[in-house]
Amino acid sequence: MDLGGRPLVASVILAWGAGIAIFAVRFAGKGMDDLFITYRYALHLLHGQGFVFNPGERVFGLTNPGLALLLAALAWATQLEIPTLATIVFGIALFAFACLAVWSAARTGRVPEALGGGTLLVTSSYLWAQQGGETIPMLVLLAGAAELGPRRPALAGLLAGLAVWFRPEAALACGFLCLLLWREERRVPWRFAAAALVAVAAGLLAAAWYFGSPIPNSLAAKQAMASGVAESWSGPVRFWLRSVRLVSRHAGPLWQLVVGLGLAGQVPLFRFGGRSGKLLVLFALTLAVFYPLSGVPWFPWYTLPMAVAVLYGIAFLIGAVIRLVGRGAAMPRRAAAALVGCVLAIPVAASLLPASYRWHRISTGWAPFMERYHQAGLWLAANSPPGASVSYYEVGVLGYFSDRTVVDLLGIVTPEVLPYVRRGDFNGAFLARPGDYAIFDTARGGLMPVAAPWFQAAYAPVAGFGQLTVLERRRGVALPRSTEPH
């Protein structure tokens, strides 16, 4: 294995570590709202209240139980806050993935490309805007399994199976890795497959025993949202159209060229990125089709594997073209290769990197509405009875900081409202289990039934945080019965 230019490689890797440490300190604990659902599961497990979102309610409302279990264990060992630990885990995983990519690409002599892709990876504002989640740790487990596959097949299978605990879609990557090992070794990788199956089966059995089902309720909730929420952005075309605004924000005005380079770079990434590069390409391209066809709404974290593949594809495409044009020792060919490389790098230098830099310069890692949820949660923790319940439809931050029972009007952790969600009846969802408190944020959409006369008669505002209002149910005021769901 050639790691030519070892001092340069070491310097780049050290720079990655320093950059990740700076970003991690800056964005510590500022994950997206849905991630706080996972953090609350971990928090309750840590405090002996069970692996649940609401104490006493065993609902399988998360698709990343592996992350929740890991965070609970780390919080027990370190006494650090769970959201902060999630940022640390994300940063370590990002660093590990970039290093594994260098290790894998060294076998094919593509260390410069892996260093370039890794630099784009660890500095990407697109990824850091979604820090604290399970996707990058899942990719690290899969990349580690890919590298260990031929030498330590049982351990590799265990890592690949554990990746499924972080996201169930990783089962697709397990299948791809099994096929890649079969193709390389010309024999069925039985030990890898058996170990992966054992790890996956253990997770399914544990979920079935504890929650009563091996399938996360969050899947049914998201499919219900696709049916009942008008702006869910589900479907093969609308799913990816929704990504345009986010991609253009983080890739700049030339985002089409940036994405085009990354997509074209999947070919050299597959050929020269080593086993983990092959696995990344197969997995990302499959998910790009799988998610839109699965009937779930668009969520930004679904795009992360594709974003990682595109970032590495950019570096590998530029490297492949430079190598092709610059073959031979003649100076004109080298000059032409350098010129072509500069031309291909223009969208990166003029669009992607400045856009990412601007985001890092001005972002605090948390949108204003998240801070409002944080303040509302702290207010509820200080001013509501311990047994109180609160109704809303973005329940992560609110639930984590309020320490109150939260009724989720989208049904992720409150499955009894799913029939109402499927038909878009959020008045019925609210009345099916009305909370002692309710939240309304004027900037976050109109799913709350605040315009209904019965709501205005039964709930009165008691606190406000900018555009967010906390309302308390008036005593003695009856609510209408919810219509029976179909």
For the record, the structure tokens of 78 come out as 């370190």
Q: What is the pLDDT along the chain (486 residues), one digit of tens a residue?
A: 556 568 888 999 999 999 999 999 999 999 999 999 999 999 999 999 999 999 999 999 999 999 999 999 999 999 999 999 999 999 999 999 999 999 999 889 999 999 999 999 999 999 999 999 999 999 999 999 999 988 899 999 999 999 999 999 999 999 999 999 999 888 889 999 999 999 999 999 999 999 999 999 988 888 888 887 767 666 677 788 888 888 999 999 999 999 999 999 999 999 999 999 999 999 999 999 988 888 788 888 999 999 999 999 999 999 999 888 877 656 676 777 778 888 888 989 999 999 999 999 988 778 899 999 999 999 999 999 999 999 999 999 999 999 999 999 999 999 999 999 988 899 999 999 999 999 999 998 778 999 999 999 999 999 999 999 999 999 989 898 877 765
Please state, in angstroms and rounded to a whole number, the distance separating the CA atoms of residues 106 and 352.
Answer: 26
The separation between CA 482 and the C-alpha centre of its own chain, rounded to angstroms, equals 35
- Using an 8 Å Cβ cutoff, are 147 and 275 in contact? yes
Residue 268, both tokens: 């050299």
Distance CA 430, CA 410 (A): 10
- Identify how many contiguous H helices and E strands the chain contains and give both numbers: 24, 5
Alpha-carbon distance 103 to 155, whole Å?
18
Helices 82-106 and 35-46: crossing angle, nearest 10°?
Answer: 110
